[in-house]
Amino acid sequence: MSQFWLYFKLGLTHVLDIHAYDHILFLIALTVPYSFGHWKKVLWLVTIFTLGHSFSLVMSAYGLVKVSSALVEFLIPVTIMVTALFNIFTATRRSGVEKFGPAFFVTLFFGLIHGLGFSTYFKGIIAGEENKFLPLLEFALGIETAQVIVVLVVLILGFILSTIFRFNRRDWIMVISAIVIGVVLPMLIENYPY
């Protein structure tokens, strides 16, 4: 049982680590257009992101895929930037009612990229493990739990600002997405691989 908590906590802290805030930035950009009324869609998006993240970890842990870490470290802020820019350009048109649109496939792809970013570290941790799948599953549960925490915080803040302070929903999306872009720009410049 302590083994479960080890990998679960690793997944939890992977997302909630303030020094590795790229994951949090992506979740903020992913969640900010939605409200509690869209909770099912948000939960699906976060779960799809976790599946992509976990799939790339599995592929990497078993040596089935190898990608340049410099390229992955650049692509992670690109995914955040694209998500935030999409929010800005569609802030007035977002209805949140579409079922499985491009957002789900893009989120899955972005999850794959984010998982590759953590794969080298994770491979080092599970190097002595005979069964690599169980630690990956435990880690994924920790990631999903942490992501739900971040999503709830964003949804609660959006709810408070829109109902109590009467902050316009469009303005909320635009301001938060612009802040995310401002934070991610230096990451893009710093990690430019060419």
- DSSP secondary structure, 144-170, as one string: HHHHHHHHHHHHHHHHIIIIIS---HH
At residue 78 the predicted structure's pLDDT band, cuts being 50, 70 and 90, is very high
Question: Is the pLDDT confidence value at 167 over 80?
Answer: yes
| pLDDT value at residue 158 | 92
Report the predicted TM-score, pTM, of the whole model to 2 decimal places: 0.88
Given a contact cutoff of 8 angstroms between Cβ atoms, the answer to whether 124 and 86 are in contact is no
pLDDT tens per residue, range 98-140: 555 677 888 999 999 988 887 777 777 777 777 878 888 888 8
Q: What is the pLDDT of residue 193?
A: 82
For the chain, state the CA radius of gyration.
17
Residue 99 is predicted with a pLDDT of 55
Q: Which residues contact 67 (CB under 8 A, 6 or more apart)?
A: 116
Pick the closest to residue 158 from 6, 37, 43, 16 (CA basis): 37
Q: What is the pLDDT of residue 31?
A: 93
Q: What is the mean pLDDT of residues 140-145?
A: 89
Integer CA distances (angstroms), 17 to 12, 23, 43, 55, 177, in order? 8, 9, 21, 22, 21
Query: Which residue in this structure is represented by tokens 């992913």?
Result: 30
CA–CA dist 115, 59 (Å, integer): 10
Do residues 15 and 24 touch, judged by C-beta distance below 8 A?
yes
Beta-carbon neighbour count of residue 140 at 10 Å? Answer: 22
Whether the CB-CB separation of 52 and 107 falls below 8 Å is answered with yes
Can you tell me the distance from the alpha carbon of 55 to that of 162, in angstroms, rounded to the nearest whole number? 36
